[in-house]
Structure 1
Amino acid sequence: MIRKYLKSNAVGLLLAGSTALSAQAFDLSAMTEAEEVEFGEAVRAYLLENPEVIMEAVAILQEREAQQEVARDVDLVAGNLDALHNDGFSWQGGNPDGDITIVEFLDYRCGYCKRAHPEVASLLAEDGNIRLIVKEYPILGEESVLASRFAIAVKQLHGDDAYKLAQDALMAMRGNVNEASLTRIAGEFGHDMAAIATQMNSEDVSDVIRDTRLLGQRMQISGTPSFVIGDHLLRGFLPQAGMQEIIADQRDNG
């Protein structure tokens, strides 16, 4: 890429300083070995005199790669939109008729997910026109899987409001996720932990985790938190102000 970029800048220098090269010789595939050597020496001299050209070329390359990545992400969102918005099992909050939908992939053992949790809550409280969909995406080990199984089981047994309370408690937890800590959370909300434990090991819960993992793989999501905001795929934590900027841009271009 850099050589192609430099080629046009070196043309004037080569034509001015060389009688051996013709305009046709700038077809690299048509150059003789001697012409290739002369061209290389001319480019090297040009770069030594103008080193800022390298940084300019790198910046252009990085910008093009970023644009290509955004375009790929838009295609990923469009190709998986039904699974993102209508899987039939993911918890939904905020305004169900909101003009912007945020889909959050989270892991309860993820420190950045814990940081994002109050930011998302504040965003929903301030903007009443957002729908939030939560995807249980445990990727950080067995404790992550245990926490997600607990949350999903609570939702399946006790409904959406109970799930939200369990989710908040799991996000606030700072210790290990184990039978004792989950039993404590269940007791705080008056749930029977034995029934929850049975549901945690059910195929219904396993199906939710499996299907969400397959969706995450199709979306090329390898870390948490990850967000889909409109058609924008955000991999990683972003403070509330940053999310508000993306939402404003989505609304302006919607």
Structure 2
Amino acid sequence: MSGGVGGDVGGVVGGGVGVGGGHALWVVLPAHQEEARLPDTLAALAAQHDRDFTLLVVDNASTDRTGDIAREFAAGAPFPVRVLDEPEKGVGSAVDTGFRYAIGQGATLLARTDADCIPRPGWAGAARAALTARPGLVCGRITARRDEHGPVGRAGFAALVSLAALFGRLRPEHVRRGEFRAPYRMHAGNNMAVTAELYLAVGGMPRRPSPTDRLFLNAVRRHTDRISRCRSMVVENSTRRLRAYGILGTARWYLDQGSGPHGTDDPR
């Protein structure tokens, strides 16, 4: 299920060998039309306590300045940065291309967030520590960005996340005996880390538009029980889907019922 890899355009190259037992950590950041939010995400990554990683920004068919912003950031970044162009639209395609490229460059540990998210300063270090302690798939904790909604909106977001997690645990196809080697735990694609070995073993991220998270998680659950949750691996998630879809539309999306009348890129 490999995909095409776009051009490696600019950025500081090299490095990426982490302090955790010689493992090379890469952070993959898929981005589509994110010129407004990408600078905040890049600044949050530059503020990480553990900056011993290579950042790979995958520009997924953007027509705005997303790619230019990533390249400009690379010139002064405190870690190596690479930028890829992925013309096949869909977050799954962008993630799969990015992960496979990173693995081809020597990555053994992979972490992912999204270009509208704010990883807290301990995020990268927590991802590395969790994967080193228990290699496999690590699911982080998501909370609402504080600059996009007030308390009511953030509470609504938290409620939707809890509803989606409960739905996943109760959904019959997620609890079939004999099919899965680990119980269902909600997995947010914008806050995950995985070993390169496991990523390849399960066939990678489905190359399709969002949502892809459950499909990938269930592929991992069929393969191994090495799935852990790391509460210190925190990402502040954009709540713009609440504005775009409304509460019911957002619930429909989180419950894996599609985006309704909205396009798959509105918003990512």
TM-score of the superposed pair, with normalisation by structure 2: 0.30
Query: Which protein is richer in strand relative to its size?
Result: 2
* Largest Rg, 1 or 2: 1
Query: Which protein is richer in helix relative to its size?
Result: 1
TM-score of the superposed pair, with normalisation by structure 1: 0.32
